[in-house]
Amino acid sequence: MKLKIAVLPGDGIGPEISAQGVEVTKAVCEKFGHEVTFEHALCGADAIDKVGDPFPEETFRICQEADAVLFSAVGDPKYDNDPTAKVRPEQGLLAMRKKLGLFANIRPVQTFPCLLHKSPLKDELVEGADFICIRELTGGMYFGEKHEGSDMAYDTNKYTRPEVERILKVAFEYARKRRKHLTVVDKANVLASSRLWRKVAQEMAPAYPDVTTDYMYVDNAAMRMIQEPRFFDVMVTENTFGDILTDEGSCISGSMGLLPSASTGSGTPVFEPIHGSWPQAKGQDIANPLAQILSVAMLFEHLGLMEEGRLVRRAVDASLDAEVRTPDIQAPGAPRYGTRQVGAWIADYIRRN
């Protein structure tokens, strides 16, 4: 198979972990006889500094022409600490999702047996936790009508029926392929937009009789994720709630550096780690590349290359078992490995197995 991948390293630790994702992709393609080409493009603060736009038209073109996008992270303190900034790195991420029509963010949450002790929760609570958060990406407050004044500001949480139907369809289909349990998360006791979500979900549920569908207010869901994470199989929710819950879910595994994600829709799919740009660690060779590498596994699986994806996952598991880990997840007294060393070890494992 011929693959064309757009690579958007972005800011902070982005270029460091991106390089490991590219090397792992190359190793897989060599192993399975695929022909792969990469085209790098600007985004985030790096793009603002160079061309004044966090998601330039040239980057959009490169993404459109690719089979998939391997994205890393955006964000820079000089924008975070300036509330008057008119252009921000994160606007590039929102623009990419909107322009590529990526309305569904798929975030798996899982635990790794050798890392249960890293979770802030008790082992007996998180052991065996394995669920997917599906977050709507292009609607809600992040894209609704806004106003910001010195004495008043508002963000409009607007959703239409077609927007809700298409994300719920994705969620029902994922539940069908897993343990057939879907939880719709909303705030229907307070918000009109949430009542639309629940109404549409209730109308669609009979078309999926093999899926058990339940409904949960977002505050209860946040609490349940900590008390009983194994309850969930597939969770679906709107943009703002999803942003918060998926970050909460990442803590279950013990490190945000462990979890990948996919953003899918009508255009080129994007695969990325869920963590941010961590600018304080830039250039120190300590960033955990596993979420980026597991994003590569999701990329292959999305393209129907399931064996390739499984090999990437086996390689990651093997690196954890061999204690080839970055400092954030390393066992006490074990050798220290940097970002590049972990990536190289995994790529070598793939070539040898």
Write the CB contacts of 128 (distance below 8 Å, at least 6 apart in sequence). Answer: 111, 230
Among all chains, which residue has been given the structure tokens 């699986």? 301
Shortest CA distance to 261 belongs to which of 269, 273, 249? 273
Ramachandran angles phi, psi of 232, nearest 5°: -90, 145
SS3 of 122, please? coil
Distance CA 282, CA 144 (A): 34
Q: Which two tokens stand for residue 2?
A: 């011929």
Query: Which run of H or of E encompasses 109?
Result: strand 102-110
CB atoms within 10 A of CB 142: 19
Distance CA 271, CA 144 (A): 25
SS3 of 189, please? coil
Q: Catalytic residue numbers?
A: 142, 187, 219, 243, 247
CB 54 within 8 A of CB 91: yes
Distance CA 103, CA 122 (A): 34
SS3 of 215, please? strand
Q: Which two tokens stand for residue 280?
A: 């304080």
CB 203 within 8 A of CB 233: no
